[in-house]
Amino acid sequence: MVSEDSGINQRGIPTHQCINCGGEWFKVLCRFEDYEIAQYIVEATCGDCGAEVDAPTLPDHPFWDAERKEITKPLPPLDE
């Protein structure tokens, strides 16, 4: 089990990958409606190292178009 106080505090920088360990799994609080995630709280914890993170939302995506309300192109692969 991961210690909740391990890692660095990355709050304030929404991310889809942990800066501390590179992990891509996060623990978040969420609410379900009709068996789907309806809402979630962005204060999260890295599932691998326990670092505090802010989970991303669509407007945090670098290619988010606010007028069209969509992502205009995908992010490059992580290994590039």
The string of pLDDT tens digits covering residues 6-58 is 667 888 889 888 988 999 999 999 999 999 999 999 999 999 999 999 998 88
3-class secondary-structure state, position 36 = strand
Q: The pTM is what?
A: 0.69
Q: Tell me what pLDDT residue 7 has.
A: 67
Render 9-76 in DSSP notation, one character per residue. EEEEEE-SS-TTT----EE--EEEETTEEEEE-SEEEETTT--EEE---GGGSTTEETTTTEESSPPP
Give the C-alpha separation, 64 to 62, whole Å.
6
Residue 7 CB-half CA count within 13 A: 22
3-class secondary-structure state, position 61 = coil
Q: How confident is residue 61, by pLDDT bands cut at 50, 70 and 90?
A: confident
